Amino acid sequence: MAEFFHRRHVPVNILCPIRPEKIGALADYLEDLNNRIREKSHPLFQQINTHHFCRWTVLPASKGERGEYPAQLLFESNIDENLSSYVERLIKKDKQTLLDIYQHCERFDASQCESYLLDHSISTPMYYRGAHYHSCKQIKRDQILYKVLEGFIDEKQDSGSLIDYFDSGLREQLIRHVKNSNISWPFDTLQRQPDPYWPMAIGIIPVLLLLSPILLPLIAVWFYFLRKHEKSELPEVHDNNMTERHAHVASVTKDEQQAVQSPMTSVVEIKPGLFRLLTLKAVLWLLNLLSNIFYNRGELGSINSIHFARWIITDDNKRLVFLSNYDGSWENYLGDFIDRAAVGLTAVWSNAEGFPRATRLIREGATDDIRFKAYARKSQTKTACWYSAYPELSLQNVINNSKIRQGLTNNMDEKELSLWLSRF
């Protein structure tokens, strides 16, 4: 399967327990590192061109319904190569920073840095990528191309010398300018397009039909148990300590939307019992499949503001962690979830503790706007240190820039040409 989907963007999660006496020192170090990322070129971030977004988050020690959780350090990254060559690259570029971070973790041995990181890597059952098959290098180059062309159009418009009385002449002018500026990459890059989904969709029908004698009874049994669970589970506890809740929200909103993009980290406990865990895993598997074959063109349904998002399962299948890198405001992000993706979110999070009550796995739940937002805020953890390789670009910008580049070499009819010209 993995071969077939040709995962250009690889998700990285490295989760390590923190030495209890070092938690404070690590938090301070990450805060300082976070300031340094923004201030100047840092070898661990700016000088590596294979990662798009990455972050370190301290999951604080906590006591939940299902037991105690030690403090852990979670590293998330979204990369264009495989994990081992990425880790090798990080160590080669800036081993010292890694040592400075991981010396706060349990059983860390500076001489075994590489294997320590690889050993603590965990899998990603559900991964969503906004700009499929666009490497970080390509995204940055596409922005340079956009700037060059934008500047050219502005300059020619100011001097009144833009030949704009027919579309194809205009395009030729722009192509000539790119070539004259000694920019060659748009002409020798072949953009990998996501595979069309219909062969997969057609292929799956006979398989489903063939398996239906087994699948249908299984689903019926599963549904029976689901309803039983939903009816017997206690409704979520309404948190009445508003003052504490509001203080928590104020602290997690601090790192939101410094400019264009924001990270979100959310940690919840999975409901106890094998039934909920298996349901969750099946739902994540299905969503991952859908995001690979359908939602691979820059939009998750009608949401076009998510660069990368994932769910991972941690702590011996007891906790569910959601990580995302999105554009715009949190209110917009969560509003989109409620208006446009409530079904998928409810299918996942209704298997976790505290989520607004759902019925039939996918109904209600996230549509209860006030409780859903309160739940999302409550589960949120501060993102200690966060890096974006292209902080000034929205996902829509990334996709638009790519289409501009592709339009320099593609053959276009009149309508496509007029659409292409509207991209500036």
Partner 1 sequence: MNQDDLSDIQSVILYAYKNLPHASYLILSIEHPDLFKQWLREHLPEVTPSTQKDTSSALNIAFTSSGLENLGLPQDTHEQFSREFKEGIYTEKRSQLLGDIGSNASEHWEWGGKARPTVDAILLCFSETESGLSDLVTHLTYELEAYTSIHPLTTEALYERKEHFGFRDGVSQPGIKGIHTQNSDQLPAGEFLLGHTSAYGSDTPAPGSEHDKSHRYANFGYNGSYLVFRQLEQDVQGFWRYLDNQSSEENDKVYLAAKMVGRWPNGAPLELFPDREPEHFNPNSANSFDFSGDTMGHKCPMASHIRRTNPRATDLGLDEDEAVRSVNHHRILRRGRPYGKPLHSKLLPTSMLKAEDNGETRGLQFLCFNADLARQFEFIQQTWVNNEKFNGLYNDLDPLLGARPRPSGPSGDDFSIAKKPIRQRLKCVPQFVTTRGASYFFMPSLSALKQLAHTDTDA
- State yes or no: residue 35 binds partner 1 (CB under 8 A): no
* Cβ atoms 377, 369 nearer than 8 A: no
CB of 238 to partner 1, least distance (A): 9
Minimum CB distance to partner 1 smaller for 178 or for 270: 178
- Taking CB under 8 A as the binding criterion, the range among 25-33, 76-84, 330-338, 382-390 that sits at the site for partner 1 is 330-338
Beta strand ranges found along 252-301 (DSSP E): 261-269
Task: Tell me the CA distances in angstroms from 258 to 1, 248, 317, 329, 392, one per residue in order.
Answer: 39, 19, 34, 10, 11
Q: How far apart are CA 220 and CA 259, in angstroms?
A: 48
Torsion of CA 207, 220, 280, 290, to 10 degrees: 30
- State yes or no: residue 258 binds partner 1 (CB under 8 A): yes
CB of 163 to partner 1, least distance (A): 10
Minimum CB distance to partner 1 smaller for 279 or for 381: 381
Of 81, 100, 114, 167, the one binding partner 1 by CB under 8 A: 167
Residues 6+ apart with CB under 8 A from 343: 362
Q: Which of residues 170-189 bind partner 1 (CB under 8 A)?
A: 170
The number of angstroms, rounded, from the C-alpha of 258 to the middle of its chain's C-alpha atoms is 18
Length of the chain, please? 424
* Cβ atoms 354, 380 nearer than 8 A: no
Of 2, 190, 214, 370, the one binding partner 1 by CB under 8 A: 370
CB of 402 to partner 1, least distance (A): 13
Minimum CB distance to partner 1 smaller for 191 or for 367: 367
**DSSP labels for 206-220?**
HHHHHHHHHHHHHHH
CB of 120 to partner 1, least distance (A): 34
Place of tokens 């010396």: 103
Q: How far apart are CA 39 and CA 278, in angstroms?
A: 45
- State yes or no: residue 85 binds partner 1 (CB under 8 A): no
Side-chain half-sphere CA neighbours of 235 within 13 A: 8
Residue 348 β-bridge partners: none
Q: Which of residues 213-242 bind partner 1 (CB under 8 A)?
A: 240, 242
Q: How far apart are CA 43 and CA 75, in angstroms?
A: 17
- State yes or no: residue 103 binds partner 1 (CB under 8 A): no
Question: Which residue from 402, 363, 323, 266 is spatially nearest to 129, judged by alpha carbons?
Answer: 323
Minimum CB distance to partner 1 smaller for 202 or for 242: 242
Minimum CB distance to partner 1 smaller for 392 or for 416: 392
Torsion of CA 73, 78, 82, 87, to 10 degrees: -40
CB of 286 to partner 1, least distance (A): 22
Of 46, 112, 161, 329, the one binding partner 1 by CB under 8 A: 329
Minimum CB distance to partner 1 smaller for 184 or for 329: 329
- State yes or no: residue 394 binds partner 1 (CB under 8 A): yes
- State yes or no: residue 418 binds partner 1 (CB under 8 A): yes
Of 302, 316, 411, 415, the one binding partner 1 by CB under 8 A: 302
Question: Which residue from 416, 410, 413 is spatially nearest to 190, judged by alpha carbons?
Answer: 410
With residues binned 3-state (H G I as helix, E B as strand, rest as coil), the percentages for the chain, rounded to 5, are: 50, 20, 30
Of 183, 249, 289, 412, the one binding partner 1 by CB under 8 A: 249
Minimum CB distance to partner 1 smaller for 29 or for 326: 326
- State yes or no: residue 159 binds partner 1 (CB under 8 A): no
Chain residues binding partner 1 by CB under 8 A are: 153-154, 157, 162, 164, 166-167, 170, 240, 242-243, 246, 249-250, 253-254, 257-260, 299, 301-304, 327-329, 331-332, 335, 338-340, 367-371, 391-392, 394, 396-397, 400, 418, 421-422, 424
